[in-house]
Amino acid sequence: MAEPVPDSASTQWPDSGAEVSLQPVARLVYASISQVDGPVLQEMRRIRDQALPRNEADGLKVALLHIRGWFVEWIEGPEQAIEALLSRVDRDHRHHSLRVLHRSVGQPRLFRPWIGAIVQSDESMVDVARRVLDLQHRHEADRLPEPASVWLSLCSPPAEAMRSPIGAFPRIMLLSAAGSTAFDLTSWVARETGQPLIRRRFAGAADDAPDVESDYVDLPDIGPAGVRLIANARKGLAMGMTHAFLPDYAAVLVLLGEDDSRNQRLLARLLSACRQVHHVPLIIGAGHGMAIGADLQSLVEKQGYPWQAVDLGSARAGLSATWQAVAPALAMLGREDTAATRPAG
Ligand SMILES: Cc1cc2nc3c(=O)[nH]c(=O)nc-3n(C[C@H](O)[C@H](O)[C@H](O)COP(=O)(O)O)c2cc1C
């Protein structure tokens, strides 16, 4: 049996300075209906143990997701190896009705050889089926350019009130240096604005992977195209899944705490992850006077990342005051005159 590859917070950090390659690769996403009887997590681990040695030998990297009775697999690597894997997987009785939703050549995103995740959502299998059919149709008509957009459209489609599709509005990662303020603020904003809060739990499909939660809310009235605010757990920063989606974030809003060394550690981990995937988001640091001092600014800017400080005034600013202070910065994202992202040089 292959050595399990961890996809977890216990992973050595950073990954020996490795970076995702800039060489274009073939990319494919398919969806299929799961036939797994019994615990999905165990079957995902069996699939991983079968897949890892074969995929590594063939130069393939994959992310396999299970959501509401559906498998979604995102594969990157040499085109011939992808096609060989596809025909092997298509014969597997653990699923059926496999549909290719995306084929392209472009920048690789998958950093680890294997990412496995089970998304718990309260939707029905039919809701997901509707989106699979829609994406299949789009694949045949005007296809989405990135596998990440296909994956997100399937698993985390925009709220009805959003005026634009995935990829057209900025995504903002929310992290807190201490406690669960990122999650508290996201829930508070959802309640205040009347927008649905979507809770996603990712059961890590490696033996030592923890469950990680990531909640989000779509805010159609912020900025020209609306924004999505996504609360991430700090331990989630070490996960392959977070790496794969980092390049889709226009900005990372860090809610700083009173402990300066914790703030510095979190920012160092964040920048290290961004560097590994060659992505340069705007880093917004929100804290009270001392926390947003020159030290953090120079830590971030020295590494070539744009920094914006938001002063929360009082050390004990509540959620309402925090939101009042950060919302204007978020509203600027996505405006043409504020290029929030640029390729890493
Ligand atoms: C949803 C799903 C995803 C899979 N992903 C892979 C994979 O990425 N790589 C792989 O080698 N096998 C994967 N498998 C297992 C293959 O279908 C197949 O059982 C395995 O490669 C052994 O093939 P063989 O018996 O022809 O040697 C997957 C199976 C399922 C059900």
Tens digit of each residue's pLDDT (9 = 90 or more) over 48-97: 989 989 999 999 999 999 999 999 999 999 999 999 999 999 999 999 99
Is residue 30 left, alpha or beta, with left meaning phi > 0 and alpha meaning psi from -120 to 50?
beta
Q: Cα–Cα distance between 255 and 283 in angstroms, integer?
A: 11
48-57, long-range: CB < 8 A, 24+ apart: 48/4, 48/5, 48/114, 48/116, 48/205, 48/206, 49/1, 49/2, 49/4, 51/114, 52/2, 52/3, 52/5, 52/113, 52/114, 53/2, 54/85, 55/85, 55/113, 55/114, 56/113
Q: Cα–Cα distance between 16 and 128 in angstroms, integer?
A: 38
CA neighbor of 213 nearest in space, from 249, 257, 259, 182: 182
pLDDT at residue 3 greater than cutoff 50: no
Q: Cα–Cα distance between 164 and 99 in angstroms, integer?
A: 25
Task: Establish whether residue 163 lines the binding site of ligand 1, counting it when its CB lies within 6 angstroms of any ligand atom.
Answer: no
Alpha carbon distances (Å) from 244 to 99, 171, 320: 22, 14, 32
The reported pLDDT for the residue numbered 14 is 37
Mean pLDDT of the chain, nearest integer: 85
322-327, long-range: CB < 8 A, 24+ apart: 322/181, 322/185, 322/255, 322/286, 323/185, 323/188, 323/189, 323/192, 325/286, 326/253, 326/284, 326/286, 327/222
Q: By alpha-carbon position, which residue is closest to atom 1 of ligand 1?
A: 71
- Residue 131 near residue 153 (C-beta atoms within 8 A): yes
Q: Which of 54, 60, 97 to mutate to test the pocket of ligand 1 (most atoms within 8 A of CB)?
A: 54
pLDDT at residue 17 greater than cutoff 60: no
What residue segments make up the domains of the chain, in order of their start?
25-155, 171-336
pLDDT of 192-244, one tens digit each?
999 999 988 776 545 555 677 889 999 999 998 999 999 999 988 888 888 88
Helix 181-193 vs helix 319-332: crossing angle, to nearest 10? 80
Task: Establish whether residue 54 lines the binding site of ligand 1, counting it when its CB lies within 6 angstroms of any ligand atom.
Answer: yes
Question: What sign for the dihedral angle of Cα 154, 107, 271, 59?
Answer: positive
How many angstroms separate the first and last alpha carbons of the chain? 41
Q: By alpha-carbon position, which residue is closest to atom 7 of ligand 1?
A: 51
Q: Which of 47, 83, 86, 118 to mutate to test the pocket of ligand 1 (most atoms within 8 A of CB)?
A: 47
Residue 160, judged by CB atoms within 10 A of its CB (0-12, 13-18, 19+), counts as exposed
CATH architecture, domain defined by 25-155: 2-Layer Sandwich (3.30)
**CA 52 – ligand 1 centroid, Å:** 9
pLDDT at residue 340 greater than cutoff 50: no
- Closest ligand 1 atom, CA of 89? 17
Alpha carbon distances (Å) from 120 to 67, 92, 204: 7, 24, 12
- Closest ligand 1 atom, CA of 43? 31
Does 171-336 match 25-155 at the fold level? no
**CA 55 – ligand 1 centroid, Å:** 9
pLDDT of 106-127, one tens digit each?
999 987 788 888 887 788 889 9
Please report, rounded to a whole number, the percentage of residues in the chain having pLDDT higher than 70. Answer: 88
- Residue 155 near residue 67 (C-beta atoms within 8 A): yes
The reported pLDDT for the residue numbered 339 is 43
**CA 96 – ligand 1 centroid, Å:** 13
The reported pLDDT for the residue numbered 209 is 56
- Closest ligand 1 atom, CA of 54? 11
The reported pLDDT for the residue numbered 336 is 62
Q: How confident is the model at residue 175 (pLDDT cuts 50, 70, 90)?
A: very high
| CATH 1.10.150 is right for the domain spanning 171-336 | no
